Amino acid sequence: LQPGIELVRDAPVSLQAQLVSRLRELILSGGLAPGTRMLASRELSRQLGISRNTVVLSYDRLIAEGYLEAHGPAGTFVTSSLPESSMGIGTSDRQAVAIDRSRPSTRPLSRRFAAPILHERPKERIPFDFRIGRPDARSFPLKRWRRLLDEKLAKAGKALTEYGNPAGLYELRKALVDHLREARGIEADPEQVIVVGGCEEGLNVVARMLCPSDTRVYVETPCYQGVAFVFASYGAAVKPVPIDDEGLCLDGLPDKGVGLVCVTPSHQFPIGVTMSLNRRLRLLDWARRNGAYVVEDDYDSDFRYTGSPLMALAALDREGCVIYLGTFSKSIGAGLRIGYLVVPPELIGPARETKALINLGNPWLEQAVLAEFIASGSFAQHLRRVRKTYLQRRDALISNLRDNFGDVELLGEEGGMHLTWMLPERGPSARVVQNECLSRDVGVYTIDDGPAFDFGKYRRRDQALFLGYPCLNEDEIGVAIRRLAEQVPSPNLA
């Protein structure tokens, strides 16, 4: 009997596939040494109780793959020229072969940046979840999206079989600059736009393009995890800079040797303050004087409820020192994985090359659909609709908090999709309130839950409780906050 062959009859894998894989394993492990004569197909089929044809086809397959050789009437043999050293054949009676077990090591992230970056779904759904950073799945423009998908597919021509421009589909880049002019006051040429797989890829493009090891990158504290971790992963020295109620504190920036400063001026992530105009102008002036680039992450600027949005840094920039980062993760959905960079003219070439090196460009179909979605006015209409819904939910959250807890300190409620409730210094910490809430099926978030990161340094870290409101309707918000008030009575918090 050919040793070690056991076939399972009612397995989902065919007998032939099992036999091929078993014989392959035996040959590679040295159980069947090079030059061994295989049993005749008739004999093996008899011993295994399978059809001869199955054995013949299996041998044919292994001959085609180079494991076996047919020597005419002499029979079928294990290929004699297979290298014994790679076939698990013992070396004890031969000269021992030195085996180098070292492999290229993975680029280590320092311990400081080793917190989990993956935004995994929680194992169990929390019934009243104020999770931050997620749009309401029910408001995804499904009908229109499906129609556009059909239309674009019907007219795709070679678009799905050819490579496109790595910077992105021209129609989308054109639609984006038109949208940015209108919505954010940014004057850019479609050439300056690089379509990327969300802000996360945008940050990777910037880091890869501009950050040789040890480049100093200054980030807000607290900041978006992604920004700190991506730059750190490229070997940059990531430095925390405090924020106050006008945004990034410029006194925290040195005068020399800074490569990049990364900010979220519209709605500081995660605290929510808006960078004042004064601070914006001073930051640009600082960048111009010190030869640094400013990365402006405008992740949720589509939602502004009170006052008019301040002009984007990229709109105020006259010197070409702002790299603007936009995303559709908040306005439409993170599953699309579409964002974009608007780079100063001098970086167009390097940014395109970098993007090409990463993946030669984003998928065509989603770009084509999104381009039409924006150019046809559907995006603006969608934004008007969701803005209205989120505004109602935000208002419901604020009034429920005030009704139940009195004069609460809220930050970041003018825009975006979440707000920060600064708990009183002397009351229970954000972590304690979070745990109390969880016991009543209400999810609220602290600075340690991601995707925020503060180097352990944010002065008010124990007080900051984050509540995202797009995914709960007004009734649900009312129930959730009442539960919270029952669990953590107001005297402790007000």
Ligand X SMILES: Cc1ncc(COP(=O)(O)O)c(C=O)c1O
Q: Which chain residues interact with ligand X by CB under 6 A?
A: 133, 198-200, 224, 264, 269, 297, 299, 327, 329, 334, 339, 451
Provide, rounded to whole angstroms, the least separation between the CB of residue 450 and ligand X: 9
Provide, rounded to whole angstroms, the least separation between the CB of residue 297 and ligand X: 5
Provide, rounded to whole angstroms, the least separation between the CB of residue 329 and ligand X: 3
Provide, rounded to whole angstroms, the least separation between the CB of residue 198 and ligand X: 3
Cα distance between residue 87 and residue 110, in whole Å: 39
CA Rg value for the chain: 30
Residue among 181, 184, 182, 180 nearest 310 (CA)? 184
Place of tokens 């006051």: 185
> DSSP string spanning 60-99?
HHHHHHTSEEE-GGG-EEE-TTS-GGGTT---TTSPPPP-
> Please, which residue, 87 or 358, has the CB nearer to ligand X?
358
Cα distance between residue 254 and residue 232, in whole Å: 19
> Please, which residue, 26 or 341, has the CB nearer to ligand X?
341
Cα distance between residue 36 and residue 336, in whole Å: 55
Pair of tokens at residue 167? 């910077």
> Please, which residue, 67 or 297, has the CB nearer to ligand X?
297
Helix, strand or coil, per DSSP, at residue 283: helix
Provide, rounded to whole angstroms, the least separation between the CB of residue 338 and ligand X: 8
> Please, which residue, 339 or 415, has the CB nearer to ligand X?
339
Contact 235, 229 (CB under 8 A): no
> Please, which residue, 334 or 356, has the CB nearer to ligand X?
334
Provide, rounded to whole angstroms, the least separation between the CB of residue 391 and ligand X: 20
> Please, which residue, 26 or 241, has the CB nearer to ligand X?
241
> Please, which residue, 19 or 241, has the CB nearer to ligand X?
241
Provide, rounded to whole angstroms, the least separation between the CB of residue 466 and ligand X: 11
Annotate 22-39 with b (16+ C-beta within 10 A) or e (fewer).
bbbebbeeebbebebebb
Residue 133: which H helix or E strand, with range? Answer: none
Provide, rounded to whole angstroms, the least separation between the CB of residue 275 and ligand X: 13
Residue 466 is given by DSSP the state E
Residue among 414, 468, 463, 410 nearest 444 (CA)? 468
Cα distance between residue 435 and residue 449, in whole Å: 12
Residue among 311, 291, 299, 233 nearest 263 (CA)? 299
Q: Which residue is nearest to ligand X (CB)?
A: 198
Provide, rounded to whole angstroms, the least separation between the CB of residue 203 and ligand X: 8
Which long-range contacts (C-beta less than 8 Å, at least 24 apart) are formed by 235-240?
235/107, 235/211, 236/207, 236/211, 236/260, 238/113, 240/454, 240/455, 240/457
> Please, which residue, 199 or 275, has the CB nearer to ligand X?
199
Provide, rounded to whole angstroms, the least separation between the CB of residue 345 and ligand X: 24
Residue among 355, 353, 114, 351 nearest 232 (CA)? 114
> Please, which residue, 218 or 405, has the CB nearer to ligand X?
218
> Please, which residue, 23 or 183, has the CB nearer to ligand X?
183
> Please, which residue, 297 or 414, has the CB nearer to ligand X?
297
> DSSP string spanning 197-264?
SHHHHHHHHHHHHH--TT-EEEEEESEEHHHHHHHHHTT-EEEEEEEETTEE-GGGS-SS---EEEE-
Provide, rounded to whole angstroms, the least separation between the CB of residue 455 and ligand X: 16
Q: Where are the alpha helices (DSSP H) in 291-377?
A: 313-316, 348-359, 364-375
